[in-house]
Amino acid sequence: MSHQIVIVGGGAGGLELATRLGKSLGKRGKAKVILVDANLTHIWKPLLHEVAAGSLNSSGDELNYVAQAKWNHFEFQLGRMSGLDRNNKTIRLDATLDEHGQVLVPQRELHYDSLVIAVGSTTNDFGTPGAAQHCLFLDTREQAERFHNQLLNHYLRAHASQSENIEQISVAIVGAGATGVELAAELHHAAHELAAYGLNRILPENMRITLIEAGPRVLPALPERISQPVHKTLEKLGVKVLTNSAVSEVTADALVTANGETITASLKIWAAGIRAPKFLKEIAGLETNRINQLVVRPTLQTTEDDDIFAFGDCAACPHPGTEGRNVPPRAQAAHQQASLLAKTLKIRVLGLDKELPQYQYRDYGSLISLSSFSAVGNLMGNLTGSVMLEGWLARMFYVSLYRMHQMALYGFFRTALLMLSDRIGRSTEPRLKLH
């Protein structure tokens, strides 16, 4: 019986790993590769802020897991992991229900010889009173589309109104990390596009966007030389930026900060902090940290079980050279770890007499998109050092990150066709999703 590799989580990292292993081990019959995810389709998570604003039609950019599995010699299983039996080397998948509550796929167990957990992360509201009840989150495509629908509904109601008064809409975004910053700029762009399509009862200047950050500056995880120009650009766009303003409570129509300020908002997005899914907390005796991440060694093996690996946002991987710090939860880290695990699992499956490689994070820089208005970032490399980018060139590098993700999944030829299709679609489709 061939070695069975089960990968739980079809995000960027998990899907890239399944594709690589399918092409190498699955195609040759050396291993059976199974990818498990609770959804039938994949969309690159860094694009969710564009889905929320309507700049991206998620149906056009989604990838179907079943088709990807067929093309790349792995198997896809629909399901959500809820349990783990390390002694019998099985995972438990909850039953999947259809829209009427009927069982579509029953609860079942799945055997593994090597298990890779790549279930990503969810937003951490830090237990803030009212946040879960009154805020929207951007962890999934469904959540992003829900926000877009609510935004569009505001415009449609205003468009149908008989009142002579100028309508307004207020949006509050908690967290000025990459997601919050990019969403604020994308919403400003959306306001102009909606007005251009005739939904002009709410003028662009009457969409009031407030970005709230508990720390002293926007983009706290990135160098200050990046955060400063981003802050200035946001203010030029009319976004109100509040720093040193931790949110202490969320109500149905407002947010209250720790310093007593009340921010009225009809739409509220929480984009601050991450944590791994709750079901991972000390699952089957594996070591986890305070935000539910599985603690792993530099080989990406969990500390308690050599046959279980974890990577991406759900893993706490030590960052060499930094005292007590872990690898940051970024897309480039997940991509690098997927590449390393493809080599690691090949060594295990083929029984090669080699030590498992150890992961070392390489920071190639950061790029922040400010919609069509600008982009800011820095590129880092052995030859160039750190190079600051801004404007059109930074925007092109930002777009290239998504193309690199597509290349890993589709290969060069199909990615080129997708780029051509996107180019043609711009002249035949509205610039903003209007439904």
pLDDT tens digits for 129-154? 999 999 999 999 999 999 999 999 99
Please report the pLDDT score of residue 350 as a whole number. 92
pLDDT tens-digit readout, 309-357: 999 999 999 987 777 789 999 888 999 999 999 999 999 999 988 899 9
Dmax (CA) of the chain: 78
Q: Is the dihedral of CA 277, 147, 234, 170 positive or negative?
A: negative
CA 194/CA 322 separation, integer angstroms? 46
Determine which of 105-109, 292-296, 326-330, 413-417 has the lowest per-residue pLDDT on average.
413-417
What does the mean pLDDT of the chain come to?
90
Please report the pLDDT score of residue 101 as a whole number. 87
pLDDT at 395 over 80: no
Please report the pLDDT score of residue 387 as a whole number. 65
Single-letter code of the amino acid located at 198? G
pLDDT at 384 over 70: no
pLDDT at 383 over 70: no
Quick one: which H or E segment has residue 325?
none
Fold agreement (3-121+276-350, 131-270): yes
Domain boundaries, the chain: 3-121+276-350, 131-270, 365-425
| Bridge partners for 367 per DSSP | 377
CA 138/CA 140 separation, integer angstroms? 6
Can you tell me the mean pLDDT for 195-221?
Answer: 91
pLDDT at 19 over 50: yes
Please report the pLDDT score of residue 388 as a whole number. 65
Can you tell me the mean pLDDT for 5-20?
Answer: 96
387 by Cβ neighbours in 10 Å (0-12 / 13-18 / 19+) ranks as exposed
Angle (deg, nearest 10), helices 392-410 and 331-350: 20
Q: Which residues contact 404 (CB under 8 A, 6 or more apart)?
A: 335
Please report the pLDDT score of residue 391 as a whole number. 67
CA 344/CA 43 separation, integer angstroms? 26
CATH number, domain 3-121+276-350: 3.50.50.60
Which of 3.20.20.70, 3.40.50.1220, 3.50.50.60, 3.30.420.10 would CATH assign to domain 131-270? 3.50.50.60
The rounded percent of the chain whose pLDDT value lies above 70 is 95
Single-letter code of the amino acid located at 69? A
Can you tell me the mean pLDDT for 282-298?
Answer: 96
